């Protein structure tokens, strides 16, 4: 009898834990730049990144972090001083803002 009670509690406890993790994950993601991203925006962003010759990892990090300063670019792109000129860094920041930062600007204005 006791074993049956314990067996019935385990699935319920696991389900509650899953609900908690799901809730916390959603709350976290709502505070990140990904809340404004759609599959179309991501595709367009990755296409715009092609001229910069970045690695997949660097592109993914740019997509997830949405850097706003040259320093952030420097921290994300390995050997950025050698691989990107100052103009390219500025251009990269403009691309990031245009593809991933539009709605944030609208929220500030609205």
| Angle, helices 102-109/86-100, rounded to nearest 10 degrees | 60
pLDDT digit string, tens, across residues 21-54? 999 988 888 888 778 888 999 999 999 999 999 9
Confirm whether pTM is higher than 0.75: no
Instruction: Write down the pLDDT at residue 43.
Output: 94
Q: Give the integer Cα–Cα distance in Å for 104 and 91.
A: 19
**How deeply is 95 buried, as exposed, middle or buried, from its count of CB atoms within 10 A (0-12, 13-18, 19+)?**
middle
* Cβ count within 10 A of residue 76: 19
Q: Give the integer Cα–Cα distance in Å for 110 and 105.
A: 9
Q: Give the integer Cα–Cα distance in Å for 33 and 66.
A: 7
Taking 80 as the threshold, does the pLDDT of residue 110 lie above it? no
For the chain, the structural domain boundaries read: 38-100
Structure tokens at 107: 């929220």
Instruction: Write down the pLDDT at residue 36.
Output: 81
């Amino acid at each position: 009898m006791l074993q049956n009670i314990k067996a019935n509690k385990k699935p319920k406890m696991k389900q509650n834990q899953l609900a908690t993790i799901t809730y916390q994950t959603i709350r976290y993601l709502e505070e990140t730049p990904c809340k404004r991203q759609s599959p179309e925006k991501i595709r367009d962003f990755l296409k715009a990144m092609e001229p910069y010759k970045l690695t997949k990892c660097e592109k993914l990090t740019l997509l997830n972090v949405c850097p706003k300063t040259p320093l952030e670019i420097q921290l994300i792109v390995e050997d950025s001083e050698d691989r990107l000129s100052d103009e390219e860094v500025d251009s990269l920041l403009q691309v990031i803002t245009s593809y991933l930062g539009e709605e944030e600007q609208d929220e500030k204005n609205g």
